[in-house]
């Protein structure tokens, strides 16, 4: 493929209970509903999965953004904003306008300590369910990533959003972590080993660390993302 972005297919329960990843990878039956992982043929050794979901790894998508000078220039806004904020932060008057997530002291401390470098990228990850049919409950879940490196005006534009995964129905997942496992395992590898980038604007390569800045979702999705109780719960955890 031209972009180098190849979808990863992982087995999942036919009733969307869980994905056969991580600790569930060796299983042949769903521990929630008992459904077979593989289609039942006369050949007992058949390994044809009943159902799969798709993960689009973030690493190749981030690499592709640096392949054109125009997209590279759009990724420089966080650096320009950070330079202004640090100059204000280190004066007696402090930051004048808190109008950006980069104004946060946690972020600025990480930049000043050198943990977040000019070569790194900051991600916001989000997940939600969607209704594909009229008068039907949400039966498809998806995850996306947006870049804090863009200006706030364009970071949520449709063409700037990076798809992460798509989970088909028919039901909402019972174990979301198993579906998130391929995404975060890949992101963890990029953070530990570094992600090599070719910068089209400078015709040079560098190593970057994609930082997980924020995890976002609506009230229902956030309960699954951070493992809190749902909005019907009395206590948050």
25-51 pLDDT, tens per residue?
999 999 999 999 998 876 667 789 999
By mean pLDDT, which of 9-18, 53-62, 106-115, 127-136 is the weakest? Answer: 127-136
Q: pLDDT of 50-64, one tens digit each?
A: 999 999 999 999 999
Length of the chain: 237
pLDDT of residue 232: 66
Confidence of residue 1 (pLDDT cuts 50, 70, 90): low
* Three-state SS annotation for the chain: CCCCCCCEEEEECCCCCCECCHHHCCCCECCCCCCECECCCCCCCCCCECEEEEECCHHHHHHHHCCCHHHHHHCCHHHHHHHHHHHHHCCCCCCCCCCCHHHCHHHHHHHHCCCCCCCCEEEEEEEEEECCCCCCCCCEEEEEEEECCCCCCCCCCHHHCEEEEEECCCCCCCCHHHHHHHHHHHHHHHHHHCEEEEECCCCEEEEECEEEEEEECCHHHHHHHCCCCCCCCCCCC
User: Contact at 8 Å (CB) between 75 and 155?
Assistant: no
Confidence of residue 216 (pLDDT cuts 50, 70, 90): confident
The residue among 212, 2, 4, 32 whose CA lies nearest residue 123 is 212
pLDDT of residue 21: 97
Confidence of residue 233 (pLDDT cuts 50, 70, 90): low
Confidence of residue 237 (pLDDT cuts 50, 70, 90): low
pLDDT of residue 133: 73
In the predicted model, is pLDDT for residue 236 greater than 80?
no
CA separation for the pair 229, 223 (Å, rounded): 6
Q: pLDDT of 122-149, one tens digit each?
A: 999 998 888 777 776 667 889 999 999 9
In the predicted model, is pLDDT for residue 196 greater than 80?
yes
Percent of the chain residues topping a pLDDT of 90: 63
pTM, 2 dp: 0.88
């Amino acid at each position: 493929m031209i972009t180098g972005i190849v979808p990863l297919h992982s087995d999942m329960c036919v009733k969307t209970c869980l994905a056969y990843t991580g600790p569930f990878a060796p299983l042949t039956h769903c521990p929630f509903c008992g459904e077979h992982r593989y289609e039942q043929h006369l050949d007992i050794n058949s390994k044809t999965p009943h159902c799969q979901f798709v993960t689009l790894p973030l690493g190749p998508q981030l690499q592709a953004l640096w392949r054109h000078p125009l997209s590279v220039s759009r990724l420089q806004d966080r650096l320009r904003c950070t330079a202004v904020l640090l100059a204000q932060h280190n004066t007696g008057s402090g930051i004048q306008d808190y109008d950006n997530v980069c104004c946060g002291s946690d972020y600025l401390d990480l930049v000043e300590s050198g943990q977040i470098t000019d070569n790194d990228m900051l991600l916001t990850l989000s997940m939600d369910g969607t209704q594909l049919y009229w008068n039907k409950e949400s039966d498809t879940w998806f995850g996306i990533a947006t870049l804090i490196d863009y200006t706030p005006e364009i970071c949520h534009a449709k063409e700037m959003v990076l798809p992460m995964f798509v989970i088909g129905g028919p039901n909402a997942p019972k174990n979301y972590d198993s579906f998130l496992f391929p995404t975060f395992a890949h992101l963890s590898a990029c953070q530990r080993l570094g992600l090599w980038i070719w910068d089209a604007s400078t015709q040079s390569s560098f190593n970057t660390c994609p930082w997980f800045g924020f995890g976002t979702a609506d009230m229902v999705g956030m309960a699954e993302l951070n493992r809190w109780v749902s909005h019907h719960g009395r206590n948050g955890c």
